[in-house]
Chain A
Amino acid sequence: MNNNPFDFDGAKNLPDRLLIDWFIDDHNYSRFLRSSRNVLLLGHRGCGKSMTLLYYSLPLELKKLDTPLEQKDLSHFGIYVSCSTPLARRVDHDFFEDDKFSKAISEHYFVLSIAVCIAEHCEHIVDVFDAESLEELKEELFYVFDDELPADSSIFKSIKRALNKELRRTQEQFLSFESRTDFTFARTFYTLIVPFLGALRSVAALRDTHFSLMIDDAQDLNEDQRLMLNSWLSYRDHSVFSFKVALATVVDFDRKTSTGGSIIEGHDYITINLEQPFQNESSQFGMLARSIIEKRLKNIGVDVSPDEFFEESPEFKAELAVCWQEVVDKYTLEHPDAEKKQINDYAYKQARALYFRRRSPKANRPTYSGLDTLIHLSSGVVRNLLLPCYWMYDDAVSKSAGAVVTKIPPAIQFDVIMKESEKLWSRVRDGLDRELDDCSKEQAQLIFNLVSALGDYFRDRLFNHASEPRIITFTVSERTTDSDSRLLPVLGLMRKAQIMYRRSGPSKDAGRQEDYYTLNRLFWPARGLDPHGQHGRASIKASALITSMMTGKFPTVVEPGTQGGLFDE
């Protein structure tokens, strides 16, 4: 096991105890996971979806408290089902190009996988069933499995074995050279899972239990399985089970069901978006980020605060303090009656901008460092936060000559941040078509153009805008059907590649909502710009974004005279 406390990958590979120690069950709405509602957990890879589901699954719930099994709270039974298994990747359903067959085999594999997971989870609590319950279960389950089961503590092992045997038999049929396979015996959700859970609920220990079927990586299901899952989500009776579905996607969730209907948010399910890109130090994500770092440091016995561990460069801090004071002095002089809040608001917007404006173009890059900077650079994604921390810790260990690492020097932080920032630019420059399935070469060029132009735009803004220089978020104004058709697919691809983030925010038309976009803040250090944004957003005309996309130049930059018309905030 890696000793780096900022390991950011593979929640599924973490030992249970470490996962319990590392997980922060605050600031992220994850308590909904214990409810009896259908919950859709959305977010990019690395947002912590698997970790959240695993944390609320039964095996980990049992390990959280050191109480005897019979005293455990079994009112919620989380069953973790991973879809990123080789079984879920099979393409047998495509082989005969037969829709009916495809649906049947897809459901068969999916429900058998769920059933194996249910049996496996039940093995953890088999000791709470008395002899009478086991006998009852055996009777009930006979009708589901059509097999004689033992009425003792090996019952779930036997069920698992029977299900795996069935899975093996099915898969073996596809290894042979026969041209057609009979598939009339396929299992379905309503003939396997519903009665299985019903049988479990019939025993005394689970009479009031709610089962959460936690489907992780649902984006890896095949199309038939996704439609089926949506149909199951529309199952209204949540007295016995509900679904908690984690979906790593940025494209709109397809709400269609296999029966041709659709599911409705709020009615059939609620959504938790784990991607919170517009954070600041005091936002939910800011607090979560701080807690994550704090907990991980504590776990390796480092007793310093996250801010001390990721110390901000003292030179940078001092220069910033000078700028702050200068801005405050100037404002106070011009507005002698200003209140403290007004002065602070002004300094908040202007002081960092002044620092960046004042720097000589020939000067070295600012020493990007400090916990706040890391939080801003993460753009609200846990993986983006932990990845640079991981490499910083790794470098610090290499340079520590065996001593315990109790802080990461600003120089190491700076090096890693610059390296990661340059890597991000290289990715976009090399072309996202080389990594995205559905991105053409032309679109990759449009994306590179748009990122470059937006970089110029926000640079220009930081250096020249009078009132809101540090804004790094934008909305799209004066949209038309034509501009949407050109712009939105490109923005969609950028979000998929995690170089752009989107959230919904209030628009200037009272009560309405609109999409706020921000580029991954890791772009800014390589250009010597400030990854710390400010509240607020620039409203950019769709036509200006399209021009940027086509030419790589933001119109206001090439045509300064038109600036007034393009900023309409």
Chain B
Amino acid sequence: MNSKVLITSLGWEPRFLLGMEDILSNYKPDHVVIFKPSTFFLDVVEKNKADLSSKLDSLGIHYTYYEFSSDNHVEVWNLALNVSAKFGEGADFVLDITTMPRYLILACLHGLENTKSKFKYIYYPPLSYGDWLSSDTGKPQMVFRHSGIAYPDLPTCLFLFSGFDLSRAQHFVDFFEPKKIILVTQQGDQLDNTSRCVRQLSGGAEIKTEQLNAYSDPVELKNQMHQLVKSDLEEYNVVATSVGPRPSIISLYLLNREEPSIGLVHANAHQYNKDYSFGIDVSRKFESVIDFSVSRK
């Protein structure tokens, strides 16, 4: 029988422990892999670590913490690869992305693809968000092994799944100075801006806007993204990122898997709001299955 491995990332938000409670209430893994970024709100994180350890001890579940510094992208990448390799092909993985940093999600996906794993991923939205969330102010960075194929004589097209706050999207636009922007927002969300802000965001670039549902089937979402971008692949260097709802990052990974010429990019947040979010909305829990054991396309 395959071993059951739950992968999560220790967070300071209330929904981290609440989410783990919910997962463990009807699923008993053999091992829990807990990534522990060593950057933000260590006091809360340490307390959460103690609470989680005690919970896992009481359930008799093995667990390992993997500490890393989020500033060192090589370290993060290698860590994620080593972890997936350690548990090997054939393990039943569950990936809890609720409070997992985006670059770590991408590294985990790469590791899981490397081991040709089929896995379930889970995301819990909070009840509400704080008045500000974070600042993605670090330099955007192409993702190892998923940087796409770029040519110096082609203009850039930025595919961007944005949140309601366009200032985070602006960071990527300023950085890449794209000639074209495909701006995707979550269906139903009202952009906290006017058309004037969208115009300012574009910086003279051609801009195409679209609303998609990040909480839909990841393959279907990937297909919708593909539709939006496929006519640009020949004429542009396409780079894609998401600062919107976290599950959208999974579909972006799948998009890159289908079109390896699209480069994935991320930017580490430099600072987070301690009150990033409040509570957990279990009723809106989102989960889906990805199967990397089947070939690409």
Contacts and interface: CB of A to CB of B under 8 A. Distances in A.
Interface of A: 2, 7, 9-10, 12-14, 45, 81-82, 84-87, 89-92, 94-95, 97, 112-113, 116-117, 120, 160, 164, 167-168, 171-172, 174-175, 177, 394, 430-431, 433-437, 441
B4 interface: no
Contacts of A9: 203-204
A13 B73 CA distance: 32
B239 A436 contact: no
A86 B204 contact: no
A253 to B, nearest CB: 18
A87 B238 CA distance: 11
A94 B203 contact: no
B265 A89 contact: yes
25 contacts: A10-B177, A13-B205, A86-B142, A86-B263, A86-B265, A87-B152, A89-B140, A94-B74, A95-B74, A97-B74, A116-B151, A116-B153, A164-B153, A167-B149, A167-B151, A168-B151, A171-B148, A174-B144, A177-B114, A433-B270, A434-B137, A434-B270, A434-B271, A437-B137, A437-B270
A139 to B, nearest CB: 25
Most buried by A among B114, B204, B263: B204
A10 B180 CA distance: 11
Contact of B147 (A86, A167, A168, A434): A86
A437 B144 CA distance: 21
B147 A84 contact: no
Contacts of A167: 149-152
Contacts of B153: 116-117, 120, 160, 164
Contacts of B174: 45
A92 B237 CA distance: 17
Contacts of B135: 433-435
Contacts of B177: 10, 12-13, 84
B39 to A, nearest CB: 13
B139 interface: yes
A296 to B, nearest CB: 14
B176 interface: yes
**The 9 A-B residue pairs with the shortest CB-CB distance in the complex, in nearest-first order:** A10-B204, A9-B203, A434-B135, A113-B152, A86-B150, A87-B150, A13-B204, A116-B152, A10-B203
Nearest to A117: B152
Contacts of A394: 196
B120 interface: no
Nearest to B110: A177
Contacts of A10: 177, 203-205
Contact of B141 (A13, A45, A91, A168): A91
Interface string B163-182: 00000000000111101000
B271 A441 contact: yes
B145 to A, nearest CB: 6
B68 to A, nearest CB: 15
Nearest to B203: A9
B60 interface: no
Contact of B179 (A12, A112, A434): A12
Nearest to A83: B152
Given A2-B199, A95-B77, A433-B270, 11 more contacts: A10-B204, A84-B176, A86-B237, A86-B239, A89-B147, A94-B74, A167-B152, A171-B150, A394-B196, A436-B137, A437-B270
Nearest to B154: A85
Contacts of A120: 153
A569 to B, nearest CB: 38
Nearest to A45: B174
A168 B205 CA distance: 26
A430 B151 CA distance: 39
Contacts of A112: 152
Contacts of B203: 9-10, 13
Contacts of B151: 87, 116, 164, 167-168
Interface string B4-39: 000000000000000000000000000000000000
B260 interface: yes
A89 B152 CA distance: 12
Contacts of B141: 89, 91
Contact of A174 (B114, B145, B204): B145
Contacts of A89: 140-142, 147, 176, 265
A13 B190 CA distance: 29
B73 A94 contact: yes
Contacts of A13: 177, 179, 203-205
Contacts of A116: 151-153
Nearest to B256: A175
A171 B142 contact: no
A120 B205 CA distance: 22
B152 to A, nearest CB: 4
Contacts of B146: 175
Contacts of A85: 150, 152, 156, 237
Contacts of A434: 135, 137, 270-271
Nearest to B141: A91
B138 interface: yes
Contacts of B175: 84
Contacts of A171: 147-150
Contacts of B265: 86, 89
Most buried by B among A84, A89, A120: A89
A99 to B, nearest CB: 13
B244 to A, nearest CB: 19
Nearest to B113: A177
A87 B237 contact: yes
A12 B144 CA distance: 28
Contacts of B148: 86, 171
Contacts of A113: 152
A86 B74 contact: no
Nearest to B135: A434
Contacts of A95: 74, 77, 144
B138 A437 contact: yes
Contacts of B156: 85-86
Contacts of A94: 73-74, 144
A7 B270 contact: no
Nearest to B237: A86
Contacts of A177: 114, 145
Nearest to B262: A86
Nearest to A168: B149
